[in-house]
Amino acid sequence: GQNIDQPTEMTATEGAIVQINCTYQTSGFNGLFWYQQHAGEAPTFLSYNVLDGLEEKGRFSSFLSRSKGYSYLLLKELQMKDSASYLCAVRGEDGANNLFFGTGTRLTVIP
């Protein structure tokens, strides 16, 4: 089976840095994605990791450790508009393209 765990909720202050963790146990691994989802809207792509290490993209960075089945999404200089759910998703087996999603972490940014 596929098991992807994230904290349910987090709160952080505007201008601060927040780290959202994701651990996974899947039958096969072919990449990990982070998506942002505002309430009632579609998920939008943030980042992709398939090799160990850090991928940086502006205010957002994502880290992967395949040996530990662990990833995190780092958001810097938080803005109020960053309040959303952040979804960790794993592409499982080789040749498969579907994503397995975690339950998402609802981030609330406060002034």
Partner 1 sequence: EPEVTQTPSHQVTQMGQEVILRCVPISNHLYFYWYRQILGQKVEFLVSFYNNEISEKSEIFDDQFSVERPDGSNFTLKIRSTKLEDSAMYFCASSRTGGRAEAFFGQGTRLTVV
Query: Minimum CB separation from partner 1 for residue 13, in Å?
Result: 26
Structural contact between residues 100 and 92, judged by C-beta atoms closer than 8 angstroms: yes
CB atoms within 10 A of CB 86: 25
Positions of E strands within 1-111: 3-5, 9-13, 18-25, 32-37, 44-49, 53-57, 60-65, 70-75, 84-91, 99-101, 105-110
Mask 17-36, x = binds partner 1 (CB under 8 A)? -------------xx-x-x-
Mask 32-61, x = binds partner 1 (CB under 8 A)? -x-x-----xxxxx--x-x-----------
Q: Which is nearer to partner 1, 1 or 111 (CB)?
A: 1
Instruction: Determine the Cα–Cα distance for residues 59 and 76; give it in Å rounded to an integer.
Output: 5
Is 73 near partner 1 (CB under 8 A)? no
Q: Which is nearer to partner 1, 43 or 69 (CB)?
A: 43
- Residues engaged in binding partner 1 (CB under 8 A): 30-31, 33, 35, 41-45, 48, 50, 87, 89, 95-104
